[in-house]
Every structure is written in structure tokens, then in C-alpha cells.
Amino acid sequence: MDESGRDAAHRAASDAELIAWVDEQDNLLGSLVRSDLRERGLIGRGTYIMLFNSVGELCVHRRTLSKAIYPGYWDVAAGGMVQAHESYAESAARELAEELGVSGVELVAHDHFYFEDTGSRLWCSAFSAVWDGPLVLQPEEVLEARFLPVEQVLDEIRHKPYCPDSLAALGRYLRARECGVAKKL
């Protein structure tokens, strides 16, 4: 299968996943197919995993052009929608392994918050992890990835398209870190 066929097949499978459907207080209402959840403007659950290396650089990656939301944007977190049968932590571990090939690391939970933007209504849980090994990128979702100093990432977001939902998670993490609430890496 060529690259465009692989991307289309992945997108179709992704749109058909059963996603946790929740209310405004993050109470589970059931599950819905991802595309239905998005099209009907209902609330789902999402995870964000900020991956740092041991010197404190943040992994940023560029999303594929076939993504339904924010195609081609840069992202400061691995992550995605929580499937119907998963906890936030289970989803975070699955997404980190799928997107960046990172597994067996400690995931530190940092925040739980609501995010809303055009085409996206989510209850979110943010995590962080530390990894110095190789990255194995999921070609259907990630075009490229690199570790950058956080200051450089904060500069880049002013002139490159970055996903606003993961930027919200990063911003909350950095504010908590400044207050001594989040672990400083």
C-alpha cells in the first residue's frame, strides 16, 4: 500500500475508534465513534504526554497532513483520545508507545482540565515522562520529531503552527512548575 493509501486507511480506522464520551463534569456517559463525537460537538477525553530527555529538552513532533484536527501542525505532546475501555493513564501509555515508540517509562500525572476549541471539546489529563532512548515514529501520525530546549519551543510557537490543545497542557505544566507544584526536570 502506498503512503496516501496507508494514511487514508489509518484515518478511517481512527475515525471509527470508540471514544469515551463524557459530560461537562467528566462523568462517563458511554462511548461513541470518534467521528460522531467530533461532528456532534460532544465532549471526549484526551491525554497529553510531554516527553523530556534527561537534560530537560522537550520532544516536539510534526503531525501528518492526514490528521483530522491540526494537520501538519507541530505538537509539544504525544497523546490522543481516550478509548471507551481505558483510563487516562492507560491511554497515555498507549499513545506514547504508538506515536513515539516509547514504553516502560514512568508517567507522572500533572493536571486535569477542560479544553475547548474549534472542532474539539475535551477533558484532558496531562502527563510527563523522561526518555533518552531512540524514538520510533508512527508514520501515519508523526512526520518528524526532535528534542528542543523549552525556551526554544516557546519561541517557535510565536511563528510556527503548534497544536493549541497541547500548548494548553504545556502552559499549565510550566506554570505549576514555576510554583513548585510540578516536578522540575
pLDDT tens, N- to C-terminus, the chain (185 residues): 666 666 666 555 566 789 999 999 999 999 999 889 989 999 999 999 999 999 999 999 999 998 888 999 999 999 999 999 999 999 999 999 999 999 999 999 999 999 999 778 999 999 999 999 999 999 999 999 999 999 999 999 999 999 999 999 999 999 988 876 555 44
From the annotation, which residues make up the binding site? 95, 99
Cβ neighbours for 63, distance < 8 A, ≥ 6 positions apart:
70, 71, 72, 73, 74, 75, 141, 142, 143, 163
Q: Which pLDDT value is given to residue 179?
A: 78
From the annotation, which residues make up the binding site for Mg(2+)? 95, 99
Q: Which pLDDT value is given to residue 185?
A: 47
Q: Which pLDDT value is given to residue 4?
A: 63
Tell me the pairing of strands 120-130 and 43-52: parallel
Judge whether 26 and 20 are in contact, CB under 8 Å: no
Q: Report phi then psi at 175, rounded to 5.
A: -65, -40
Domains of the chain from N-terminus onward: 3-183 (3.90.79.10)
